[in-house]
Structure 1
Amino acid sequence: MKSFTLVLTVTFDFRGDKEDEIGIKWSSTDGKALSDAPTELNFTIGELMGDCNYALPILSPLFEKFSQNNEPVTATASVKLKREKEHLILSFPEVEEKMENEYLRTFLFKLLTDRKVFLREVKELEKKWY
């Protein structure tokens, strides 16, 4: 089966008075468009994107400690996805070694390996923090 590498870049802007602004950008490697992903990965990729849109704004306070003087923080992580029969094979190529990138890579790992439990934890944090 074909593999596909997704790259997630998130910018957290902590300069706002009321709410943190978050920019989420999805891309791929080797100049591929997201639409070039193998058909068997479309559901997984779509679900992952939706989960990120939900969870990242809630978890943004975790990234605030990486900001100096309320400057924006950018984190990048990539995941290589491959479906073999009913199994999803994951690998996480390293990008620049920064703690905020490690946080984002862990976030993707949890969503892809234990989605329901992780989203429940995010929901609990949402109740606690907001």
Structure 2
Amino acid sequence: MTPAQVHRRIVDLYPRVLAGDMDEALALVDQDVIDHRGGTQGDHHGRAAWRDKWLALLEGPQDFHDVEVTVEQNIASDDISVNRYRSRGTHTASGRRYDVTSMDMIRVRDGRIVEHWALRDTAAIEAQLGTVS
């Protein structure tokens, strides 16, 4: 698969990931992936850390449903694929919805993600949900 195809597939599998079915999506992630999260979290290494990131979405205090991710633009070159996308969902406890534009970039080798970078407007999500402190 090309980098753009890998990127599209992992986005298409996201609803299944949020339902707890991660195996097919994790098969697209290299065992030694580097997830460049930045901030206080820093980089995370390995497929197990990627699984833990997804598990935190399922088990964390911010429980969401009706989550949708729509890729609005993809640009791919060589082993890199970049998505600009909209993510939307409903915060289960409050019933409030969020809708934000985000970007992420992956580097693919042998059909698997070996590096990942993401930018998400967390402040906009918190403002829309009324959880800004």
Alignment TM class, shorter chain as reference:
0.3 to 0.5
Q: TM-score, normalised by structure 2?
A: 0.32
More helix by share: 1
More strand by share: 2
Structure of higher RCO (CA pairs closer than 8 Å, 6+ residues apart): 1
Q: TM-score, normalised by structure 1?
A: 0.32
